[in-house]
Structures are given as structure tokens and as C-alpha cells.
Amino acid sequence: MTVKGVIYRVSGPLVIAEGMKGSKVYEVVEVGDERLIGEIIGVEGDKAIIQVYEDTTGLKVGDPVYGTGYPLAAELGPGLIGSIYDGIQRPLPILEELVGFFVKRGVKAAPLPRNKKWHFTPLVKKGDKVSPGDFIGYVNETEIVKHYVMTPPTVKGVVEYIVQEGDYTIDEPIAKISDIEVKMYHKWPVRKPRPYKEKLEPREPLITGQRVIDFFFPLAKGGKAAIPGGFGTGKTVTLQQLTKWSYVDIAIYVGCGERGNEMADALHSFRKLIDPRTGKPLVNRSVFIANTSNMPVAARETSVFLGVTIGEYFRDMGYHVLMVADSTSRWAEAMREISGRLEELPGEEGFPAYLGSRLASFYERSGFVKAFGSPERYGSLTIMGAVSPPGADFSEPVTQATLRIVRALYALDVALAYRRHYPAINWLTSYSLYVDNVQDWWHKNIDKEWRALRDKALAILQKEAELEELVRLVGAEALPEEDRLVLEVARMIREDFLQQSAFHEIDTYCPPKKAVLMMKAILLFYELGLEAIKRGISVDEIREMRVKSKIARMKEIPNVGFEDAFKQLFDEIRSEYEVKIKEAGFIGTA
């Protein structure tokens, strides 16, 4: 690595270097005597505009700039699972061993462990023809994840040799394909989408264990969604819940400009939690990228692209991957700061004019795809980003630009959060465009009445919103009995179904079948209530029924073997209504 130029100007994380003729946009450079990592984001004549991913304090005019000739790339191979990286894929636990709790400038460490031996099992033999993406062997990275070693996307030909089954480090060549040595890892530029054979329309829902999402506003595997919400509405807890409990093979959590204590809480809880599907620790299928609010602002942008690149890598193995970014607003703020220092013409609220296209370049890398290579396989990358609009104003540029890209919106409501209704997802403003996509899966695998139940419950909640204005004017007692019943059942849907505690040992996760049975219980109560009103029974009497308290405790029914408990609950609802109707008939006769 040779000196390419010298510093001409320093402005916060932005450095302009001269004497950089021949440099390329997005080339990685090392700045100053401490060799701080930076990336060229613009070239003007022999000057290069560099965003530095570390603290630039102390840099001065005339300091050297070293060129690498390579773009910013992620190392992809065994050792990713369970790792904690910063925004430029430096392993934070290794840095702690090297320099202590505070990351010093210029310190570097290999993203993947070089001295650890992995037990490699070959899947091809000498003389086989291989193409990009072919499985040539595998490593059991954790108890949950089988890490397939694939032919790099740029390599194809005949296998000249491949090692025998045994223990190897990732730096040791394991195969030679047409004169090219292949190791267990390779590098891939973070800003360049990984190739795939075909992109398909998502058809399978991503089950998250959160009733308001799974039942009302389902997200498909390979989909893209946003969770905007004001301060204190529960974005971080909601995203952590999705990362913990979603039916995915790999979960990637990107803390982009978030508070350090929130990131620490996520890391701590993941180490203790058990995956309900495998019975193994959740950390055995997770990757963490921690770019907290006190870390250099420029690295926020790369943290998101690093997460997407790692997600695409596991997607290419045929896995279903969920990546959450908390939050894209902090990412956009970093972009605004760099844009301001570049003296670019500002767009709305000071954000750069290319805000929308940069957001799209991140979200559009999601998808359900047929991967390159043999054997034939399908994988998905689902992306969910939090948005933190100032003052919970959804008309601000980042939220609006995001809404033009995503197909599912989970709008967090400040009013619901103040009422301690969590998750504070507003059922009137949220939506999902994946309902038609996943309908067949729900009807085939869970319950053929799902769509009808969903539509009926949403209609009741919509009717409640319409009646609220009237109630403010004349009071609930002036309404017809049928409308009073709607208000009562809507309250039950809100409190007994939509509210879900992230800290309750049972209610933190709800299987889709249980969610359907919970809604069936509430709607059975409603339908029999309408029948009872026709027989002369008042809503006040219905409200006092003993079975209502059992409906309110449905959440506490264990998530295993719950069918019998719900069958008994349905029988109790019917029998108590029968008693009420008989009593009303007897009184009427008397």
C-alpha cells in the first residue's frame, strides 16, 4: 500500500485529499499516520472527497492518504453467526481484548477469526464442473446453522483439487477451481447487490409471534416493511421482538445510531433467550451490527449496507433471513451531515436530494429469490426498518420516502403508547399489501376462515372509530344496543387480542393458530351477543358475564396444547349465553 495523496482539507468526518489522480469512487483509503479507514465518495480532478469512518480529531493538512484499490467489502464465511460488529465490520469483542472498552482510532482486526479451525466436509470431488453459487462443502457453524461454502460469484470451472474432510482455518485453501484457489470465505462489496437467478413474488408469511402483525397486517418472507413512530412508542422493543421470535433461519439486528444501553439490552437478552422452534439459544442464529449514537456518524450508512450484504449471503445458501435496521432516520441524518459538509444543494428539511434513491438502494435488496448454483434452492431476505420522525410527524421526508418503497406499514401511535397499549401499532393507519399474497398459506396451513375473521374484526374496529365521535356528543348510553355491543367487543379486541406483553413469559410470543382461536372466541362472543340482544338481553347484562374474564385471560393459555383449552372456552361462551337467553325467556313469559 503506497501513499496516494495528502490531506488538503478536513471538515468533521469529511476529508478532501489532493494528489489522488487515478482514484475510484467508493475506493477504500487509509487516512493519516494512524491509517483511519475512509471511503472515497467523490472525485474532482486530482482531489478525492473522503468520508472517514473514525474520529478525525487531530488530522491536519499534509497528512498522508494511502490507497487500497479496493471498494469497501464484507468478509463472508464461517464465523459470522453470533458476531458483534461495528459499522465497518470490525469485531467489537476482539477490539475490546486489544484496546479495552473504548475503541481507539486506527485499530483494526480481522472480521472473521483466522486462528479458529472449522470442520469442513466436501460436497464435490476432483474433476467436477462447478458454477457460481454451487455448494462445494459445508461447516456446522452452530448447532442451528449449517454454513455452506459456495463457489464465489465470480468463479467457475473444473475442480482441480479439493481437500479431504477435516479441520481447517478460513485462510487455508480448500479447493482449486480452474487455477483459482478457493478458501472458506470471500469478500463482497457492500454497496453491490449479490446476484440471483430469479426474483419471485413472496407467497409465505413471515410469522413473527406478534398478533397485530401476523393476524391483521402480515409480512411476507422476502418483503419490506417500515415501523415509524415517535419517541417512546416502542420501536426498539418491537424490532427486538421481531428479531427474537420470527420464523426465520437467520436474524440480523442493525443498531444504527441507537442508544448504547438499548443495544446492550438486545445483546444481553439474546444470550439468554431460547429459540422456540429449535430449543437452542437465539444467539446461535443471529448476527449483530452495533453502531451506537456515540460512534462516528459516517459509519451509520455502511452499517446498513453491511447488514444487507450479510443477509444476501445467507439468502444465497437457501436460508430465510430477517434484517431489522433501528433506525433508518439516524442513517438519513448521517447522510444529511455529510451532504451539508459537501455543500450540496439541500432538499426538503436539509436532507440530500438523493435521499429517496439511497433508501431504495437498501430496501430493494430484499426479496424471495431462486439462488444461483446447485442444488436448486430458494431463499429470502426480509428487511424491516424503523423510522424516528421528529415529533411523530409522518409527513417528514424520511417517512414519506420510505412509504413510497415499502409494502407494509406498522404505524406506532403516541396516544396508544401513552395509554400503555403495546405494541402501539395503530390498526387504522397501518396496512399490509401482502394480505392477498399470503392468504392461501393461511387458509391451507392454519385456518380457512382467517381472511373472513380478519376482515370482520377490522370492520368492528373501524365501526368503533366512527362511533367514538357520536359517543363524545351524546354518550354511550344513548346508542342502540347493537352499537353498544360493537364498542364493548372492539374494546375486547383491543385489550384481549391486540395488546401483547413483550415481558410476559407466555404472551411474548403467540403461535398463529392460537391467534386465530383467540379471535374466534371474541367474535363468537359478539355473534351470540347480537342474538341475545334480539331476545331482549341488554349490553349491561352481557358485560357482566363471567366468561368475559376468561376471554381476557386467553393470553395466559400455554402455547403448547392450547386447542383443548379453547374448545372448553367456546363451550363456556355458548352455555352462558344459553342460560341468559333461557332466563330472559322465562322472565318474558312470567
Q: Which domains does the chain have, with CATH numbers?
A: 3-73 (2.40.30.20), 200-433 (3.40.50.300), 450-589 (1.10.1140.10)
Q: How confident is the model at residue 495 (pLDDT cuts 50, 70, 90)?
A: very high
141 falls in which pLDDT band (50, 70, 90)? very high
pLDDT digits (tens, 9 = 90+) for 416-459: 999 999 999 999 999 999 999 999 999 999 999 999 999 999 99
pLDDT score of 166: 96
Tell me the pLDDT tens digit for each residue of 520-568.
999 999 999 999 999 889 999 999 999 999 999 999 999 988 999 999 9
Residue 586 in this model has a pLDDT that exceeds 70: no
Q: Give the pLDDT of residue 133.
A: 94
Instruction: Indicate whether this model's pTM tops 0.95.
Output: no
What is the Cα–Cα distance from 62 to 57, expressed in whole angstroms? 15
Residue of higher predicted confidence among 97 and 496:
496
Q: Which amino acid is at 94?
A: I
Identify any residues that bridge with 42 across adjacent strands, giving them in sequence order: 49
H-type alpha helices, 88-131:
92-99
Separation between Cα atoms, residue 152 and residue 147, nearest integer Å = 14
Q: What is the reported pLDDT for 589?
A: 41
* Residue 389 backbone phi and psi in degrees, to 5: -70, 135
Span 352-366, pLDDT tens digits: 999 999 999 999 999
Question: Please, what is the average pLDDT of the chain?
Answer: 91
Q: Rounded distance, CA 16 to CA 34, Å?
A: 17
Q: Rounded mean pLDDT of 91-97?
A: 88
Lowest mean pLDDT among 120-124, 218-222, 577-581: 577-581
Question: Mean of the pLDDT values across residues 382-396?
Answer: 91
Residue 1: its pLDDT value, please?
57
Helix (H, G, I), strand (E, B) or coil at 476: helix
Which strands sit side by side in the sheet containing 157-162, from one edge to the other? 129-130, 157-162, 175-177, 180-182
150, pLDDT greater than 90: yes
What is the per-residue pLDDT across 217-247, written as a single tens digit (0 to 9) for each? 999 999 999 999 988 898 888 988 898 889 9
CA 449 distance to own-chain centroid: 29
- Residue 581 pLDDT > 90, yes or no? no
The continuous run of DSSP H or E covering 524 comes out as helix 512-534
590 pLDDT above the threshold of 70: no
pLDDT, tens digit, 9 for 90 and up, residues 280-335: 888 899 999 988 877 777 788 889 999 999 999 999 999 999 999 988 898 898 88
Q: Which amino acid is at 470?
A: L
- Average pLDDT of the residues in 209-222: 96
What mean pLDDT comes out for the span 265-280? 78
Residue 384's pLDDT is: 95
